Structure 1
Amino acid sequence: MDLKVVKTEEELQDAYKVRFTVFVNEQGVPEELEIDELEQEALHFIGYGNKGPVAASRMRFVDGYAKMERICVLQSQRGKGFGRDILLFMEDKAKEKGMKKAKLNAQIQAEKFYQSLGYETISGEFMDAGIPHVTMTKPL
């Protein structure tokens, strides 16, 4: 997978397309919650496979944390390490910007995945867009 920090409008639209496919079409997140008012302040990421965009995410800097958000991989491309790759790429970019810790809100079904990459659960379960989540952090 070819990972990039989004720099062009086309790359941003590719990232939105992956996010829309995963979160809105697959998981039923309301469209108005997926693309929100925080897009402008976020650093966006896109991952391209052999046949186009396959993974996307965004990162914001909030309260001293690199906040990892909207991490997703197309269903047909899961199990190939793309989720791990894009998250580690995001962490590298956060370190380059001087960040010392990362935070994310993980869907419960992905909690073990994030734990395997060094994230620790620091909250109880809560609902976000109708999906159970927990907050997790990791020193960078």
Structure 2
Amino acid sequence: MIIKHTRDTLSETYLDAVAIRNTVFVKGQGVPRSIEIDANEAYCIHFVLYDDKGQAAATVRLLPNKDLTQVTLQRMAVLDAYQSQGLGSILLKEAEDFTQEQGFKSISLHAQLGALKFYLNNGYQEVGQIFEEAGIQHITVEKSLISKKA
């Protein structure tokens, strides 16, 4: 497997990310495409995990905040055929490592309640109340990256 990342919204990697998000969020969860593809696309770093045959299997994007101390992790998606194989954790770790290498101090995200256990198992902590976003219940979670430095 290989993980690629890009900021180029015309790249094949970005188009693969959008295809996964369309399958998982728009078709699978009924999220309106107008919400799924937003004005932040060009400001994000888009990651795609490819399987051993070169097929796009999972994606996530990172949106740096304005003061460049924190990133917001968004659009984490693993295609159904690749669920429960640890690919989400592998991709999440890659995004975290990249974030730390770039000097960011923490990551936050709006976790769907159905995925909350995944994030808690990967070291994230709840930091708010449950809220609705795109018709789906979420909760904010975050993880400090400072303690990871050796």
> What TM bracket, shorter-length normalisation?
over 0.9
Match of 2:57 among 54, 57, 76: 54
Please tell me the residue identity of whatever aligns with 1:57: V
In 2, the alpha carbon distance for the partners of 1:43 and 1:76 equals 24
Matching of residue 68 in structure 1 with residue 69 in structure 2: no
Contact 2:13 2:48 in 1 (8 A): yes
Q: Cα offset for 1:7?
A: 6.1
> Is the contact between residue 7 and residue 42 of structure 2 (CA under 8 Å) also seen in structure 1?
no
Which residue in 1 is equivalent to 2:112? Answer: 107
| Structure 1 stretches lacking a partner, 5+ long | none
Structure 2 gap ranges (5+)? 146-150
Residue in structure 2 matched with residue 2 of structure 1 by the alignment: 2
Letter matched to residue 61 of structure 2 = R
Matched residue SS, 1:134: strand
Verify: 1:78 aligned to 2:80, yes or no: no
CA distance in 1, matches of 2:7, 2:48: 10
Q: Secondary structure at the match of 1:124?
A: coil
* Equivalences for residues 1-140 of structure 1 within 5 A: 1-6=1-6, 9-51=11-53, 52-62=55-65, 64-140=69-145
Q: CA RMSD in A?
A: 1.2
TM-aligned CA deviation for residue 6 of structure 1 = 2.4
Count of matched residue positions in the alignment of Structure 1 and Structure 2: 140
Q: Distance in 2 between matches of 1:75 and 1:48?
A: 14
- SS of 1:103's equivalent in the other structure is strand
- The separation in 2 between residues aligned to 1:34 and 1:48, in whole angstroms, is 21
- Normalising by structure 2, report the TM-score: 0.89
Stretches (4+) displaced over 6 A: none
Aligned equivalents of 1:13, 1:43: Cα separation in 2? 13
Q: Is the 8 A contact 2:2 2:52 kept in 1?
A: no
- What's the offset of the Cα at 1:49? 1.0
SS in 2 for 1:89: helix
SS in 2 for 1:19: helix
Partner secondary structure for residue 100 of structure 2: helix
Counterpart secondary structure, 1:29: coil
